[in-house]
Amino acid sequence: MSAPYLVADGLSVAVDRREVVADVSFSASRGSLIALVGPNGAGKTTLLRALAGLLPSRGGLTVGGASVAALGAREKARTFAYLPQGHLVHWPLPVRDVVALGRYPHGAVDPARLSRADAEAVERAMRVADLEPLAERPVTALSGGEKSRVALARMLAVEAPVVLADEPVASLDPYYQIEVLGLLQRAARAGAVVIVVTHDLGLAARFADRVLVLAAGRLVMDGPPEEALGPGPLADVFRITAFRGGTADQPVIVPWSAV
């Protein structure tokens, strides 16, 4: 295992004077995909935004050995590629131009005048998100699932060492759910730290190297899927039982009944 690249040490976040994330500590090495799971209201989105440096937090947070708080805005944007929930675009821009916005942290301010390196990054992101046939379509004319893939491609175009995605498969059909988690896994294997918030425990079990389980703002489990999503945590945190199996050395978890 390589040395930790992203380290949270006692990270806490308060929103409107209420502590939403409390004393969360973990580290992540490049090359790993981590699923962040938990019930509604557990603080998953708040934690993800704090990791990206988008919310003020207490405690330690470093990336590549440097304090995230000390990074300038442009450097932070090059280091963290963040995909929020919703990710709507309200202007009828061509898909390629929207994806090109991911190169803004690298100095690309005009999608019509990209450097060769920026243009190649945009094309790579569109290819992995299967958007090449839609390149000239106005993004406002796309379906919800297609818009989600555009937002994902824009995030990947940043080519950041840390990728933070908040429910990236929420509006996608099963084919693209598997495709998107697969491409995020490939991004991890290529050397990124990838952290994905998801409610789909089956996808988390299949694609994640580690699972962080958040409950009431606290990290209650951190381990491989077969442990973090074991019968005990599922009953205690999610109040469910699950059908369990395995295939191709991957755990299979299907939520089954309430407890």
pLDDT in tens, 203-212: 999 999 999 9
Q: Give the three-state DSSP class for 235.
A: helix
- What is this structure's pTM? 0.93
Distances (CA, A) of 254 to 155, 181, 206, 220, 234: 29, 17, 11, 21, 11
Q: Which residues of the chain have pLDDT under 70?
A: 1, 87-88
Q: What angle do CA 10, 11, 16 make, to 5 degrees?
A: 135
Where residue 169 sits, what CATH number does that domain have? 3.40.50.300
Q: How many domains does the chain have?
A: 1
Q: What pLDDT is stored for residue 1 in this prediction?
A: 56
Domain limits for position 23: 4-258
pLDDT tens for each residue of 75-119: 999 999 999 987 667 889 999 999 999 999 999 989 889 999 999
In 56-84, which positions are buried (b, 16+ CB within 10 angstroms) versus exposed (e)? Answer: ebebebbbeeeebeebeeeebbbbbbbbb
